[in-house]
Structure 1
Amino acid sequence: MKPTRVRYGVVGFALSLAILAYVQRVAISQAAGPISADLGLDKVEMGLIFGAFGLSYALFEIPMGLLGDKLGVRRVLAQIVILWSFFTALTGAAWNLTSMWIIRFLFGAGEAGCFPNLTRMLTQWLPRGERVKAQALMWASTRWGAAVTPPLVLVGITLFGWRWAFVIFGLMGVVWALFFLSRFKERPQDNPKVNEAELALLAESQALVTQEHGGWLQLLLKPQALLLMVQYFCWSYVWYFFVTWMPTYLGEAWGQSAAETAGLSVLPLFMGGAGSLVSGMIPLRVPRRLVAIGAFIAVGSLLLIIPQATNVGVAIALLAAISFSGDLSVPISWNTCVEMGKRYTATMGASMNMFANFSGFLAPVVGGMILADATKSWNFMLYVMAGVAFFGAFCWLFIKVPEPDPEPDLVVAPAL
């Protein structure tokens, strides 16, 4: 009997939510100008608002990952998508620094657990080799979702103003959640469209997400797990520049208009998606740890070169190369979470993502402080990011990555 392909519809759900999550997350970076002008915010205050998302996202990651491992991803994902979409829409109602900070903090709490639970969903619905490729596709989708956001937000602000643009983005999440609840089943065996051959194909994956190897806290305190979390912090520290300060950098350092900034911001984010996709296509015989080390070294080196750029085209090309290089490590990191986490896949992923979003809080706040210091500049911010990237390469020297076995190529079908 030929296996059915119901699992590819699950991949469709993962990809569409990944895009939606990043559209809603990145929108505020392009809207920073009108928001600052409307609410009377300076760079330090805007940095605090950028950081509010990362702080709450980090704090709520492990609880949401534990909920996904305990209650199942269907219930948890539907609830958090509706929750974060509500606060996305509520962003348009902010009237000062405090209200905006609180709304962004609660928005981050809503998005916490999204990708750890998507990782668990893909783990239990895909055989191992297909999961590696699906993770690469999912993270490529996040970057491409972020890439289309600047022009999308610019159109929304032009037509409706920044307040109503956030309301529209919030409604998109509610539509996704309702469709997901009506079509997705937690386990393959609960879906009547899955035949016996597809169930047999997924038997190993089902065993993986039920395999016990000690408690979740014991898992998270292992040196290998801690190193995995720290290296993800390092790349996220750099990556958050693209979705927070980059539009401001292009405007101030290179004199670009809002429209020019929106157009230029697309390339680095698009190339990040390409990096994730290429990561999933690298032959399995190539050690994943070496790919990650090379990616971090490239990021640090390119950041040191940017201050020598002679025009905005060169600067954007270097930023695009940084985004591509760094995102080579992202699917590797998430698949390593699965191999380490097993029964606690969502919890392991949540813990790694928690570290990433502590950097999401720290990086924009530190950036705002650097820019507020008259003795420092954008170049100083880039040098700090380079140092963090080199430390990420150092961490990967000691991480052992379980290498996946070859599986049939993944063919992605439309969502159910």
Structure 2
Amino acid sequence: MNDRGQRQQSKRRWKVRYTVLLLLWFCWMFSFLDRMVITVALPFIGKDFNVGATGQGLIISIFFAGYAIFQIPGGMLADKFGFRRVISLALGWWSIFTMLTGVIFSYPLMLISRFLFGLGEAPLPGSSYKGIATYFPSKKRGTAAGIQSTVNTLGPAVATIAAAAIISSFGWRPVFISIGIPGLIVALLIWLKTKDNPADHPNMTKEDLRELEEDEDLSKEEVQTKVGFKEVLKKPILWQATLIWFFFDITFWGFTSWLPSYLINVRGFSLMSTGLFSALPFLIGTVTMILGGYLSDRAQGNRKWIFIPNAIIGAGVLYLMFQASSNTMVITYQCIAVFFMFMAQGSFWGLVVDSLPSKVMATGSSIVNFGGSIAGFISPIVMGALIEASGGSYGSSFIFIAIALVISAIIAMTIHTKSEQENTSEVLKA
């Protein structure tokens, strides 16, 4: 077989990195299933525990308190001990507390359980981006991150449909028990099917290892210097990305947490209709998430210009959605808003995984995601308080999340991309 035929066969074969990405994708899927079904169950939980909108918002927000507290330590553990070990333990932990959510009959115990659940999920973001940086060369990390991030849209879609179906037939408690068991299985597969060092994986080929080694050779910063936690903290891109993700997640978690309640309480949708129409925009977003990651790789050096216009357009359409007079236009606008929002998100994580050194990818991406965790804590409970203060009106709360999305785009404008730095250098030389 000639060299061209060997290259074509190499491109067609299933690579180890695809298996790693698939397992990471399932980890994220179960993380979103576990945390998103509660948004559909929230009105029923509130009724059973006799708590109002603010108390219901606290059930969601308390998860993010635990999620935020252990976010950075979880990433540091992944950099020290490897993503495989940390993700396996974390997934097993949070799957157990997912099942416990379905058997708790006390509101204080519910809050404790959701807090501990958040602690368990905290190491996942940094560990998973560490896995991508370990197995994928730089030029393909944006697409890989985009594929992984499809769970941010597909997870809520699957969760709302499944939760609505199970709750309408069996009540809200069996939902949490049924989705905890598969998570334990995926945790075992992560342990058995991945390695922290690609060279230790029995199915890695010399060609794939060479590609990773060549990618490392291009990164002089990592080869010639020791990159530690203090060095990462000095990078402006780290803090810019953290602020961007904070404001983006104000929008994301406010939108996903309260959309089902909005459709039921304000728009008069049935439970099953709420499940279907809450899922529809996220199914659309699944496609645009991959597209955003792909375009991010194509615009390497200018990744921010994929994020900025999509975030601004998404914010505008999101505002129109909650001003719509008919239910048909509400559904139409929410689909369009999510299209642009998740195009932006897909490109954003391409920017992050391409900008941070792979040796400290877990720590760095955990710091970025920490911003989102704080937003996840703040947004649901603030929206709940705004809804109660407005006598049940969702208007001010949805203006709040639209503004946050615009702010994320404004901060992204402050990032100096590689191409801009090169142009500035050429001007100075001239």
Q: Taking structure 2 as the reference length, what is the TM-score of the superposition?
A: 0.88
How does 1:14-413 map onto structure 2 within 5 Å? Answer: 14-205=24-215, 211=223, 212=225, 214-282=227-295, 284-285=298-299, 287-342=302-357, 343-374=359-390, 377-402=393-418
Alpha-carbon displacement from aligned partner over 1:161-197 (angstroms, at most 9, x marks no partner):
3222211111111011112212212221101222211
* 8 A contact 1:148–1:266 mirrored in 2: yes
CA-CA distance at 1:158 after TM superposition: 3.6
Secondary structure at 1:93 match in 2: coil
* Equivalent AA in structure 2 for residue 142 of structure 1: N
CA-CA distance at 1:55 after TM superposition: 1.7
* Equivalent AA in structure 2 for residue 193 of structure 1: N
Query: C-alpha separation between the residues in 1 aligned to 2:183 and 2:148?
Result: 17
CA-CA distance at 1:159 after TM superposition: 4.1
Query: C-alpha separation between the residues in 2 aligned to 1:210 and 1:183?
Result: 28
Matched length: 403
Q: 1:174 to 1:376 in 2, by over 3 A?
A: closer
* Equivalent AA in structure 2 for residue 251 of structure 1: I
* Equivalent AA in structure 2 for residue 247 of structure 1: P
Query: C-alpha separation between the residues in 2 aligned to 1:307 and 1:266?
Result: 17
Q: 1:6 to 1:214 in 2, by over 3 A?
A: closer
With 202-211 and 66-75 compared, the bigger mean Cα shift is at 202-211
Query: C-alpha separation between the residues in 1 aligned to 2:145 and 2:215?
Result: 15
* 8 A contact 1:135–1:335 mirrored in 2: yes
Query: C-alpha separation between the residues in 2 aligned to 1:213 and 1:300?
Result: 41
* 8 A contact 2:76–2:363 mirrored in 1: yes
Query: C-alpha separation between the residues in 2 aligned to 1:103 and 1:217?
Result: 34
* 8 A contact 2:37–2:175 mirrored in 1: no
Query: C-alpha separation between the residues in 2 aligned to 1:138 and 1:192?
Result: 24
Q: 1:106 to 1:271 in 2, by over 3 A?
A: same
Query: C-alpha separation between the residues in 1 aligned to 2:325 and 2:307?
Result: 30
* 8 A contact 2:17–2:136 mirrored in 1: yes
CA-CA distance at 1:205 after TM superposition: 4.8
Q: 1:21 to 1:205 in 2, by over 3 A?
A: farther
Secondary structure at 2:146 match in 1: helix
Query: C-alpha separation between the residues in 1 aligned to 2:195 and 2:277?
Result: 40
Q: 1:402 to 1:114 in 2, by over 3 A?
A: farther
Alpha-carbon displacement from aligned partner over 1:316-365 (angstroms, at most 9, x marks no partner):
22122222212222233323322332121111111111100111010001
Aligned position for 1:412 = none
CA-CA distance at 1:223 after TM superposition: 3.1
CA-CA distance at 1:372 after TM superposition: 1.0
Query: C-alpha separation between the residues in 1 aligned to 2:353 and 2:322?
Result: 38
* Equivalent AA in structure 2 for residue 378 of structure 1: Y
* 8 A contact 2:142–2:351 mirrored in 1: no
Q: Look at both structures and tell me which one has the larger radius of gyration over its CA atoms.
A: 2
Secondary structure at 1:308 match in 2: coil
Query: C-alpha separation between the residues in 2 aligned to 1:281 and 1:374?
Result: 42
Q: 1:275 to 1:101 in 2, by over 3 A?
A: same
Secondary structure at 1:173 match in 2: helix
Query: C-alpha separation between the residues in 1 aligned to 2:214 and 2:363?
Result: 20
Query: C-alpha separation between the residues in 2 aligned to 1:322 and 1:82?
Result: 35
* Equivalent AA in structure 2 for residue 24 of structure 1: D
* 8 A contact 2:303–2:351 mirrored in 1: no
With 148-157 and 101-110 compared, the bigger mean Cα shift is at 148-157
Uncovered stretches (5+) of structure 2, i.e. residues with no partner: 1-5, 420-430
* Equivalent AA in structure 2 for residue 162 of structure 1: W
Higher RCO, Cα 8 Å, sep 6+: 1
Query: C-alpha separation between the residues in 2 aligned to 1:215 and 1:10?
Result: 25
Uncovered stretches (5+) of structure 1, i.e. residues with no partner: 404-416
Query: C-alpha separation between the residues in 1 aligned to 2:285 and 2:322?
Result: 21
Query: C-alpha separation between the residues in 2 aligned to 1:165 and 1:204?
Result: 47
CA-CA distance at 1:85 after TM superposition: 0.4
Q: Cα RMSD (Å) of the superposition?
A: 2.1
* Equivalent AA in structure 2 for residue 309 of structure 1: A
With 25-34 and 335-344 compared, the bigger mean Cα shift is at 335-344
With 181-190 and 221-230 compared, the bigger mean Cα shift is at 221-230
Q: Taking structure 1 as the reference length, what is the TM-score of the superposition?
A: 0.91
Alpha-carbon displacement from aligned partner over 1:93-124 (angstroms, at most 9, x marks no partner):
22222111111111111111212211110111
With 351-360 and 393-402 compared, the bigger mean Cα shift is at 393-402
